[in-house]
Structure 1
């Protein structure tokens, strides 16, 4: 009951109707209730009505809803354009002020649209009795604008059990012979104005798939992309751009986007509705080419850009729905020439805005524009670069999930702010394009901070090939719709809710746990960064721990797979089994290589066994990809063809390369390892159950998970909050709200950890943090450490993208700050962690009293005193 109430109250992603239990207005169920609307009766859906003169985008959505009703009911639903022909119950879809039928219902006070009229992309869903002559009952979906009507329609599709991923992940639709919509009315609208994703780094997977299945990245393909975006309640897209041109490759791309209601943009380095590849194609009339350099080739560039704006005009001269990217980077998404002055960029933007005004015949401020402060462009902004007030300023993350900068000035600008985020990246310290390695908990922490800091105009995420980012993309888009509703409690419930939408409630709890665990395991260190030395082989034997965790997860997947209905087989493989199996296998590969080299050093015959295991794992990796490519009768062939094994630098190898193993002669292999890691193979270790007792020093260290504090002292209007699973081990602790100004330790806001030392020691405290950046640009992030009643030792860390500390932090998915604590006496102590700055995310505390061994995850949590 609690979860159902939470879902209804938050207005987040809807669950299939079985979960709603007919407890809220306009919820969907299989039983009739007083005043409910019988949407499907005996498998036959009601008729769907939309005006013949309605916007094409609304008609697209209505047609999809008609099809969705047929998927659920099993029989086709009728779609009509003349309300006088309606017989019996009907679904009415339209836009306030544009639909004569909707306008009449408003005038007759049959529906109330006061809370949505004039709003951006808002909608109301209302069950109405006797709405029109001859119509006994109707479900009315009224939008404040065309996308409002679209989102209200697709929201109802989700309620009746059609996942946004029904096509993109082959999620089956459960058929129901009876479907009812409860009486009443609901309304909703987005909190972030522009919400979308970026198809990028799309070769070889997405590109080869699209060419095989659609003959190219064209309008036939984009129809599926646009529909997915809208079903996820997104409205904005950056199209694929590696050697491609959305407007140039297929002129129907832009026409179809406008017809379906999707706003098109271009990436951070492609200004003025032009794909960068078009510059090098040099086919546009009036463009003579030359260098991509405004100092030497401004006239040609202006002609090129003008052609881009002219090309996105509708036949009536107005622009199709676009957000125009401004600015300029160097050729091929590189930094501009060293020493580029901010004045040049300001000149470029002024000239671009003049082109927009000249082509549209309106002030440039009336056309939506965005300027991406990506990499070095952010530095120019920090140094005082002037940006027109109506332009959206798009901040970026560091390409690895840490936002670089958030608003500290210009907070009242009319254009507002946005964030460009990454689930996929090509660049240093290593490409990551293969598996989903993104924790929704990390995405939540960063985007919650962004929204709390005033970023509410544009959220866009780089999703690579779309697949296999289904799960984090759903989360990003759901959160973008209403960031305020995505509380820590809603975040915790999300995996199970998403699993229920794809596989039904019966499996949702088990699948939700798998989603959470595999995301954490894959995020610890992205597969492209793995090697045989990533985890410790001796000492704590971390390799045994992580592979044991994966092995346990494989067992959980198999248990669900035995139980789940066969209709879910294809979707389950794509969304659940593949990321677990592929992730586990690559860990098994590198652990086997590590063990091979270890035993080879002793001329131990076990080296031969582990060499064979490594070779088998390498072959299995390809088998897993081949299995993916056979799913759904080969529908997703090529989608897992991204190379991932054999990196030696940031760029991908041309093909997967088997890691080197040491071959030894079986006849002469006589040595034996003195201390065999195989003796503890896959035993693993983990945190001890926390009982609130003091932590005891053991083996020369004390290790404490962040959430296992003995006491916490909150501040005025700000609280310590545990975020389960965030980070590499158990959880992390943050303070909320996240945008609160720095705290003075004198206010006393702190976490306290009780521990017992068995001997006097000059110790060193290792503080494990989730990597974050100084979004205020104030020289780093601060926190405090103290012991007992001693002074607060203020610590500062400042991760700078592309610098060594940052490279290590994003590779390790942790940043460790070390603080010497000299002269500690044997006995009981209280270690205190003090809040100073926001965006400091604590994972773990390890006090080294002389016995700490090298490790990746940190040592296992110390046991508590008896």
Structure 2
């Protein structure tokens, strides 16, 4: 934190606790080694709770109990005073000290803070936190706890505050900025497998559900994340929020704004609260009177609380409107329903409906209803959703941006539905969150941001990143890595922050290519069985590379964990190690079993009599003896998921028992398959799997290959020639290692491509190729040229922080504009032949209803061609795009001449996210993911 500059943000989160013995005059000494500051609140419920939170943090930091009172006379030499500007307490302290924070009076959720001395009692000093409103006071307390080094996850992920000898904070005058987004919240959803069973059986068994004690914990977490809006849990496994005694009171006490999801207009949980036997069908066309009475009951019952009311009309439970056969019928019924709902609100609140916060979430078919011409009152906030897979479906046009009610965003970090759920591990890439929410910010969708966090855990970091962006839009100026590093330092210390950041970014990178939940290559609605992974469609190399990356990631995460002190290991397991190992173990189970089955096919191929090991290897006829060990390693991967999940639920004396479930909905991808064992013939021969041993002259590159035998013990050795280095140079293949080993071979860009290996007394030549591209040209590797720029070379494009080489056509792109400056790429081909140029983007959607999603391409100065990346509904193409995080358009050439070629890309629409270009020459392997580079 900069001292005395009036600005404090997330960048100050890793506050140092090692402090000199003597404090500067402007510092507030909250603990001098003997006495801890007292806490005084203004008597409001939220100030009292915030005071208790601060006192609890102080006690954990110092070991001393801090008094919490509502009168300064009960405080000793230093009092932390918490209240609103207009409270009697703050007015009295201001009169005593001459403090004037009137500049923030009447503003939204701001506060002033200053260290002042009492004029009546010079021995007493006040660290005054005065809010413009009650939540402003709370944010002042939260910023103080952050400055003291307390993590937002001190309870929810066991990042327990550490004891210190001294505590002091800057006492200079400061005024906080207003939050960037007015309503910032979380949606508890799909809670059936974690949050609800944990609350019902472990944390709040007296309620047997998510009750007021659980919600109080959730609301405190929201405070620490500076969130003010909740959409409560709403599945039929959970008692509706307003039917559980004490829930609403807990929200009022914490000054939390309550809303409901897109499927729950007027704060009604239809799935549990609408009784068809008593009320009839949930059909506005045939049963309007009963539905209106149902809504009226709720708005009358909760009229004294603070809410953002969801309005509109859908089916009973996250489904299309019942009784409407056309979008026009749905439009007219929704218009009538909104009019009725606003009349109910006006009567219950005793004021015009335009003064009651309302939101219409344009989710799924409701967006179709809106685009069919639904008139929405100008004061209603339009909430634009993503497509459930973290790509915002549509944003407001210039006309919609100036609506009085403004716009908001509903975003997913967890989802149940087609093409496939992702409910287990939180893997949405922070770079995608930043890019998509940056779109929302730039297009004035700033009124309300709600994020679907599923069960909260294990999505802790992503939840905080989303909410930090909502609270302070200036974070957009920094790459996601910067935020993640600061967060890592706060949880685990600066010494390991860079390493933790690298681990987590690799974890997100791997999952961005394919989420763990999608590794079964099946779908839901309807549920389909798992199938062989597309990582094996070109042989085993791509699967082996992915396994190598995960193995290295786990090894690094475990090494970091071993360095941490005992009091951070539970937190590290929850926040880093469990998700990293879980993703790695599921990939290992899937890919190693697929590899074993792929290798088993060799059993059907006859061994060539009298052939040498090298000849057998090149013919592909060595019977691989690693099938059984791969199958056993796949089984071990599945068991690790079971064991790690059990360990998670046993952490901290069983505190989290029932929270973690590694098989939500028991979908096929999670179920233990058969792990076959086969009787193998024994061959005294060795083989190499490593068709990807392709290197580039002048570049240091590491590749991996597998050395295996046919079931006989075999010593092997490798003497790397100049220019090469190996991860191992000798070893033995035997039953214990499954007659296989992985070897990484690095080439420094110089030297020959003649690398030989001996195995079982015979010599094998490694299938190495070294590309020698022309100066300034990208290399041809395995018949593929990958073009991926590091920065934009055209004013019509901009780089996207956090993604390697991704570019975005500017959001300020004017419709109808002819983009005169292209992105230009050049590549060389050595021979004439067939070729395909694939231009891959991320699967975004047209920016607004008036935009398209097009790109103009010119090859070698020819006529421009237009590529349209838009998809429609939940088409098969859209499903493929979501599962792979890619959208592909291709240009094919029956004959592409040898020599230099030019690709020019002209922006034709705003917001298209270009990932890379692949020039695929004749014979190129069809990799699932990124080609070798």
Same fold? TM cut 0.5: yes
Instruction: Indicate yes or no: 2:496 matched with 1:507.
Output: yes
Alignment counterpart, residue 322 of structure 1, candidates 288, 307, 310: 307
In structure 2, the CA distance between the partners of 1:296 and 1:149, relative to structure 1 (3 Å rule), is: same
Quick check: 2:185–2:230 contact (8 Å CA) kept in 1? yes
SS at match of 1:142: strand
Alpha-carbon separation, structure 1, partners of 2:161 and 2:631: 45
Listed as ranges, the gaps of 5+ residues in structure 1 are 22-27, 314-318, 645-650, 862-866
Alpha-carbon separation, structure 2, partners of 1:289 and 1:430: 34
Instruction: Decide which moves more: 450-459 or 531-540.
Output: 531-540
SS at match of 2:287: helix
Counterpart in the other structure of 1:526: 515
Alpha-carbon separation, structure 2, partners of 1:147 and 1:814: 42
Alignment counterpart, residue 128 of structure 1, candidates 96, 111, 116: 116
Alpha-carbon separation, structure 1, partners of 2:538 and 2:88: 75
Question: Which deviations, in whole Å up to 9, do the C-alpha atoms of 1:172-203 show, x marking residues without a partner?
Answer: 21221212212422222201000010111011
In structure 2, the CA distance between the partners of 1:586 and 1:31, relative to structure 1 (3 Å rule), is: farther
SS at match of 1:756: strand
Quick check: 1:545–1:685 contact (8 Å CA) kept in 2? no
Counterpart in the other structure of 2:814: 741
In structure 2, the CA distance between the partners of 1:687 and 1:327, relative to structure 1 (3 Å rule), is: farther
Counterpart in the other structure of 2:695: none
In structure 2, the CA distance between the partners of 1:809 and 1:670, relative to structure 1 (3 Å rule), is: farther
Question: Which deviations, in whole Å up to 9, do the C-alpha atoms of 1:10-38 show, x marking residues without a partner?
Answer: 7236413218x9xxxxxx98862242111
Determine which structure has greater relative contact order: mean sequence separation of CA pairs < 8 Å that are 6+ residues apart, divided by chain length.
1
Instruction: Indicate yes or no: 2:690 matched with 1:702.
Output: no
Quick check: 1:122–1:144 contact (8 Å CA) kept in 2? yes
Alpha-carbon separation, structure 1, partners of 2:897 and 2:20: 65
Where do 1:140-539 residues align within 5 Å? Answer: 140-186=128-174, 187-213=176-202, 214-215=204-205, 216-243=209-236, 244-281=238-275, 288-313=278-303, 319-336=304-321, 337-339=324-326, 340-408=329-397, 409-483=399-473, 485-531=474-520, 532-536=532-536, 538=538
In structure 2, the CA distance between the partners of 1:43 and 1:524, relative to structure 1 (3 Å rule), is: farther
Counterpart in the other structure of 2:725: none
Quick check: 1:544–1:684 contact (8 Å CA) kept in 2? no
SS at match of 1:37: strand
In structure 2, the CA distance between the partners of 1:528 and 1:692, relative to structure 1 (3 Å rule), is: farther
Alpha-carbon separation, structure 2, partners of 1:577 and 1:4: 33
Larger radius of gyration: 2
Instruction: Indicate yes or no: 2:635 matched with 1:615.
Output: yes
Quick check: 1:151–1:233 contact (8 Å CA) kept in 2? yes
Alignment counterpart, residue 721 of structure 1, candidates 787, 799, 823: 799
Question: Which deviations, in whole Å up to 9, do the C-alpha atoms of 1:441-488 show, x marking residues without a partner?
Answer: 1111101101111101100011110101101000011000022x1234
Deviation at 1:731, TM superposition (A): 4.5
Quick check: 1:629–1:639 contact (8 Å CA) kept in 2? yes
Alpha-carbon separation, structure 2, partners of 1:684 and 1:357: 70
In structure 2, the CA distance between the partners of 1:796 and 1:132, relative to structure 1 (3 Å rule), is: farther
Instruction: Decide which moves more: 694-703 or 549-558.
Output: 694-703
Deviation at 1:71, TM superposition (A): 1.5
Quick check: 1:37–1:180 contact (8 Å CA) kept in 2? yes
Instruction: Decide which moves more: 188-197 or 757-766.
Output: 757-766
Quick check: 2:241–2:248 contact (8 Å CA) kept in 1? yes
Quick check: 2:553–2:580 contact (8 Å CA) kept in 1? yes
Question: Which deviations, in whole Å up to 9, do the C-alpha atoms of 1:494-522 show, x marking residues without a partner?
Answer: 11111111112122111122122212222
Deviation at 1:744, TM superposition (A): 3.8
Question: Which deviations, in whole Å up to 9, do the C-alpha atoms of 1:735-792 show, x marking residues without a partner?
Answer: 55x45435845431x3333322212344321122122111313463122323454444
Alpha-carbon separation, structure 2, partners of 1:685 and 1:522: 25
Counterpart in the other structure of 1:564: 564
Counterpart in the other structure of 2:36: 45
In structure 2, the CA distance between the partners of 1:688 and 1:548, relative to structure 1 (3 Å rule), is: farther
SS at match of 2:266: coil
Counterpart in the other structure of 1:647: none
Quick check: 2:147–2:169 contact (8 Å CA) kept in 1? no
Deviation at 1:732, TM superposition (A): 1.9
Counterpart in the other structure of 1:653: 667
Quick check: 1:196–1:234 contact (8 Å CA) kept in 2? yes
Counterpart in the other structure of 1:648: none
SS at match of 1:147: helix
Instruction: Indicate yes or no: 2:680 matched with 1:666.
Output: yes
Alignment counterpart, residue 631 of structure 1, candidates 613, 634, 651: 651
Instruction: Decide which moves more: 9-18 or 600-609.
Output: 9-18
CA RMSD of aligned residues (A): 2.9
In structure 2, the CA distance between the partners of 1:422 and 1:668, relative to structure 1 (3 Å rule), is: same
Deviation at 1:706, TM superposition (A): 3.5
In structure 2, the CA distance between the partners of 1:613 and 1:669, relative to structure 1 (3 Å rule), is: farther
In structure 2, the CA distance between the partners of 1:657 and 1:463, relative to structure 1 (3 Å rule), is: same
Instruction: Decide which moves more: 226-235 or 669-678.
Output: 669-678
Alpha-carbon separation, structure 1, partners of 2:461 and 2:109: 24
Question: Which deviations, in whole Å up to 9, do the C-alpha atoms of 1:324-373 show, x marking residues without a partner?
Answer: 11112112211124323311110011111111122222222222111111
Instruction: Decide which moves more: 542-551 or 122-131.
Output: 122-131
Question: Which deviations, in whole Å up to 9, do the C-alpha atoms of 1:269-328 show, x marking residues without a partner?
Answer: 11111111333457xxxx931101011111111111111112213xxxxx2011111112
SS at match of 1:126: strand
Alpha-carbon separation, structure 2, partners of 1:288 and 1:300: 10
SS at match of 2:824: strand
Question: Which deviations, in whole Å up to 9, do the C-alpha atoms of 1:601-659 show, x marking residues without a partner?
Answer: 11244322222222222222211211111111111112222416xxxxxx753894223
What TM-score results when the alignment is normalised by the length of structure 1?
Answer: 0.89
| Equivalenced residues, count | 822
Counterpart in the other structure of 2:836: 764
Counterpart in the other structure of 2:79: 90
Alpha-carbon separation, structure 2, partners of 1:131 and 1:524: 64
SS at match of 1:765: strand
Alpha-carbon separation, structure 1, partners of 2:367 and 2:349: 29
Alpha-carbon separation, structure 2, partners of 1:809 and 1:81: 57
Counterpart in the other structure of 1:839: 911
Instruction: Decide which moves more: 553-562 or 140-149.
Output: 553-562
Counterpart in the other structure of 1:74: 63
Alpha-carbon separation, structure 2, partners of 1:542 and 1:587: 13
Deviation at 1:697, TM superposition (A): 2.9
SS at match of 1:610: helix
Question: Which deviations, in whole Å up to 9, do the C-alpha atoms of 1:648-680 show, x marking residues without a partner?
Answer: xxx753894223455433369999989677439
Quick check: 1:723–1:733 contact (8 Å CA) kept in 2? no
Alpha-carbon separation, structure 2, partners of 1:248 and 1:189: 31
Counterpart in the other structure of 1:16: 14
